[in-house]
Amino acid sequence: AQSVTQPDIHITVSEGASLELRCNYSYGATPYLFWYVQSPGQGLQLLLKYFSGDTLVQGIKGFEAEFKRSQSSFNLRKPSVHWSDAAEYFCAVGATPRTGGGNKLTFGTGTQLKVEL
Amino acid sequence: GAVVSQHPSRVICKSGTSVKIECRSLDFQATTMFWYRQFPKQSLMLMATSNEGSKATYEQGVEKDKFLINHASLTLSTLTVTSAHPEDSSFYICSASVFGATNEKLFFGSGTQLSVL
C-alpha cells in the first residue's frame, strides 16, 4: 500500500528565509508525486508534480521539489518565503497516470507553514 | 485553468437530517470524480471514486448507505450525507479528473465544511 509521511506538523520561518518541507513516500512502483497548498477554507491548489524525467521539478509561486528515489523523498523548497506563503502544504502520491481507474491519491498529514514578518 | 465548483462552502444541519454537496466541473468534462473528507489537523482521506453513469467505488470503512454518491453527468457529482450525526462533521472536498494528451489532471473544489449539531 502506498503511504506518505510529512514529519513536520508545523514549521515557522521568517519572511525572506529559505524553506524546505519534507516528504517521504512508500510506493511499490514508480510514484507519481504531488505537492498541494491549502489556504484556510479553500480547496487544494497544485504546486507541482513529478511523473518522470528531470528529478528537480519547478512549480508555481517559485516552489521546486526534488525527487530522490534512493531516499524515497520528494522535498519541497523555496529560496525566499513570502508572507503569503503561509498555508498548509500536502504531499501526495498516486499511481502513474492513465491507469484507467483515475488517479487515487494518498495524502500526507500536511505541514502548517507560518511566516514571521 | 479548469475550475471545479463545490457547493455549499459551509453547511450547518441538525442531527438526523440529510445534506447534499454538489461538485461541478465548470469548463471541462470530468472522467472521474473523487470525494475526500478531512478532519482537523489531519490529511485528506479518500472516501469514494465515482465515474459517470456507474456506481461509486467506496474505500474500505466508508459506509455507502450513509454517504450516497450520484454522478449523473460528466460535469456533476453529488455527495449526500444521510441521517447526519455530529461525528460526520468534517471538511469534505471533491476533485475532478480529466485525461489530457499526455497525462491525467486533477482539479479540486474549495471544499464544504459540514457541522452537524
Closest-approach residue (CA) in chain B for A91: B43
Residue A62: how many other CB atoms lie within 10 Å: 15
Size of interface A-B (CB pairs under 8 A): 61
CA distance A7 to B108: 24
A102 closest CB neighbour out of B6, B43, B97: B97
Tens digit of each residue's pLDDT (9 = 90 or more) over B10-43: 999 999 999 999 999 988 888 789 999 988 777 8
Instruction: Output the CA angle A56-A61-A62, nearest 5 degrees.
Output: 45
Q: Which residues of A touch B (CB under 8 A)?
A: 4, 9, 36, 41-46, 51, 90, 97-98, 101-110
pLDDT by position in tens, chain A (length 117) = 788 999 999 999 999 999 999 999 998 777 889 999 988 767 788 899 888 888 999 999 999 999 999 999 999 999 999 999 999 999 998 875 544 345 678 899 999 999 999
